Copies of this chain bind each other. A is one copy, B any other.
Amino acid sequence: MDKWDYRCLLEVRDYEIDMQGIVHHSVYINYLEYCRNVYVRTLGVDIHEYHSMGYDLVIMSLEQNYKAPLHPGDKFYVTVRMSREGRLKIIFDQEIRLEKNDSLVLAAKAVSICVNAKTGKPCMPDVLENVFDR
């Protein structure tokens, strides 16, 4: 069994580097989101389509453990493993690792829910429920 459901290969871009010469710690949030969104799209969940259907997938909590910095030019991969907690919570366990030696750069956990864009109330629409039923 794989340790992840999906992974993306990415490369550090110079505009992501901060004054310490490493990737700024807020940029990892974008890497993580990118990988989650690409992954759920492979499952048929397009967050833009959901948005126009009146649903938004929102982040309830996010924690990042920074293990080692990324430097200019580094190639790395972002992984994601999705699970469910209770009826409404969707958990994404994620990692970022250097491509060249698999060393750990960041470990993260995102907790997400689907909300009705109008009311802001949590919900689990059938289209999303079906993703977990497979």
Contact = CB atoms under 8 A, between A and B. Distances in A.
Contact of A30 (B15, B21, B117): B15
Contact of A19 (B30, B34, B51, B62): B51
Tell me whether chain A's interface is mostly helix, strand or loop, or mixed. Answer: mixed
A5 interface: no
A129 interface: no
Contacts of A61: 63-66
Given A21-B19, A24-B15, A26-B29, A64 B66 contact: no
B26 A14 contact: no
Contacts of A25: 29, 33, 59, 62
Contact of A33 (B14, B69, B73): B14
Interface residues of A, number: 34
B29 A14 contact: no
Interface string A31-64: 0011001000000000110010000101111111
B20 A56 contact: yes
Interface of A: 13-15, 17-21, 24-27, 29-30, 33-34, 37, 47-48, 51, 56, 58-66, 69, 72-73, 117
The 8 closest A-B pairs by CB, nearest first: A63-B63, A26-B29, A17-B19, A15-B30, A61-B65, A25-B59, A48-B72, A13-B34
